[in-house]
Structure 1
Amino acid sequence: MIKAEELYDHLVEHRIAGRVATPRENNLGKYARFGRRDPDVLFGLDPEGEWTAADVLALMARRCGVSPDPEHRYGQDTIDPRLTVEALDRVALAVARTAANRGSVLLGTGHPQHLAGFHSALGEALRAAGCAVLTPAHPSHFPMHHAQEVEYCALEFRQRVGVVRVYEGAPPAAGTASAEEVAAALGALSEPVHTHSPQPVRIALAALAEAGEALPDLVIGDHGWACGAGRLGVPAVGLADSNDPAVFVGEAEGEVEVAVPLDDGVRRDCYELLSAYVLQQAGMSQ
């Protein structure tokens, strides 16, 4: 039996919450960029509200636990572990609802080296409960657009968790090469990469729609996976760092069901107690 107090201590000990590694100046910089509608920090949202940098700071103080003081510009910032535990309890409700309805779930992460295990654990428990864990558009190849460049990527599912890999090369001009020449030009694939993009979840949801299949009853993700799904009206829960304001704005505007405040860059195994706690609270401990 995992008690909330035990989870609280674990969060603080491993700096998943409490005095986290993300510096204050990084947080404030991302809040300012969100206020300017920088696509890289919107994660696929199109916010209804104005959301100035000051508005975002006030929201993040309430929902995440960062310092509300606008004059605190450098150094240490925090995530309130009580808010993390409360949000995980609400994730458990969404997971339990999906399991009770034998619903379908789509899993994906923009932090594959750290958070994939958390998502996979919930997915395996839901599959054991009779839910369909979807892997649409596997594999898919697509150009991912950034501010300064375009990368050619692959969407894949590992342990039923969607991840993005990047090709070393670039495809030749359309219509000028055979399939073999295109494959040779693309070259090898990277290991799964960190991304904020909503493109992967959009591709996965579009593949379901094109196949005439129902959209998932729940998306479990982070970054663009949570915000991109929520923007399209699909119930979504997302893990989010203190420099990821989009997930919290999505929650505040009703597009993301739950935003879980935590540092999303600690060791992968440190999140195992969190997924175990969610499954316990959902009545699905294995």
Structure 2
Amino acid sequence: MLSTGALRAHLLAARLAGPVATTREDNLRSYRLFAARDPRVTLGLAPERAWGEGELLRLMADRCGVSADPAHVSGGDAIDPARTVAALEAFAERLAEVARRRAPVLLGTGHPHRLLGFYAGLADALSAAGCPVLTPAQGRCIDITTRFGVRTYTIDYVRGVALVREPGGRPTGGETGAHTHSPLPVRLALQEAAERLGVLPELVVGDHGWVCGAGQLGIETIGPADTDDPALFVGEAEGRVSVAVPLDDGVQAPFYRPLTRYVLQRARLSR
């Protein structure tokens, strides 16, 4: 069993919480862009009302623990590990509920190099509990706007977790897929689920556009988010994201394994 104290110690040691690598400059830039409704940071969420930069900073200080001081404009920033632990507890509650009902789920990530293992462990446990783990739109192509222009990607699944690849980009060695913030993959996956499978997931587990895109369409969503991803926390504040877990989403993949273990313990899904 992984205790809450051991989890907190791991969060700090791995820099998943406490002082994190995401800089204050990156955070404030994202809050400015979100306030301007830049789609690169709204991630498919259409905010119900205007969010100014100051209001976003206060929200992120409340939900994540970043500095609330508007005069702090450079250097480091932080995540309160107590907030991360509390959010993981809520995350586990939602998993336990969907497992109890054996409801269909969809898991997807825009951070496959970092978070694929975290989600794959959840997918395995949910499947073992009797939840249909949906894999709609596998192999479908989708055009996504990137900083390099519009590029075509393919939706693929690894151990029940959706991600996108460049065409022909089947894994070779450590390759897992492409990093994306886009909500377009989850929109296509949900459309395919409804039209071809005749079923929608009752819960989407993921990050970036997978969470915000599904939440905007009225699907219950949960997932982790970094301090420069205000969209998930705005979605949570406005009631379209059930749980946003504050943590650094860019550390080495093995550091997320204890989080999977802790969440599955709390959800009583450990095997």
TM-score range, shorter-chain basis? over 0.9
Deviations 1:208-251 (A, max 9, x none): 11125121011110000011110101010011000000000000
- Paired residues in the alignment total 267
Are 2:162 and 1:162 equivalent residues in the alignment? yes
Structure 2 counterparts to residues 91-170 of structure 1, below 5 A: 91-146=91-146, 149-167=149-167
For normalisation by structure 1, the TM-score amounts to 0.91
Question: Deviation at 1:32?
Answer: 0.4
Partner of 2:233: 248
Q: CA RMSD in A?
A: 1.2
2:201 paired residue among 209, 216, 232: 216
Cα separation, 2, equivalents of 1:208 and 1:275: 26
Q: Show structure 1 runs of 5+ residues with no match.
A: 168-186
2:260 paired residue among 268, 272, 275: 275
Are 2:48 and 1:48 equivalent residues in the alignment? yes
SS in structure 1 at match of 2:133: strand
The structure with more radius of gyration: 1
Question: Deviation at 1:189?
Answer: 6.2
Q: Show structure 2 runs of 5+ residues with no match.
A: none
Cα separation, 1, equivalents of 2:119 and 2:170: 23
- Which stretch of the first structure deviates more once superposed, 107-116 or 204-213? 204-213
Deviations 1:7-59 (A, max 9, x none): 00100000000000001011000000000000010000000121011111100
Cα separation, 2, equivalents of 1:86 and 1:267: 22
Question: Deviation at 1:166?
Answer: 1.8
Cα separation, 1, equivalents of 2:205 and 2:192: 18
Cα separation, 1, equivalents of 2:170 and 2:52: 39
Partner of 1:234: 219
Partner of 2:184: 199
Question: Deviation at 1:148?
Answer: 6.3
> In the alignment, residue 74 of structure 2 is paired with which amino acid?
Y
Deviations 1:176-205 (A, max 9, x none): xxxxxxxxxxx6568411110001100100
Cα separation, 2, equivalents of 1:225 and 1:248: 14
For normalisation by structure 2, the TM-score amounts to 0.96
Cα separation, 2, equivalents of 1:90 and 1:215: 23
Partner of 1:88: 88
Deviations 1:119-174 (A, max 9, x none): 1111100100011000001111111124662101101011111011124xxxxxxx
> In the alignment, residue 252 of structure 1 is paired with which amino acid?
A
> In the alignment, residue 105 of structure 1 is paired with which amino acid?
V
Cα separation, 1, equivalents of 2:86 and 2:151: 38
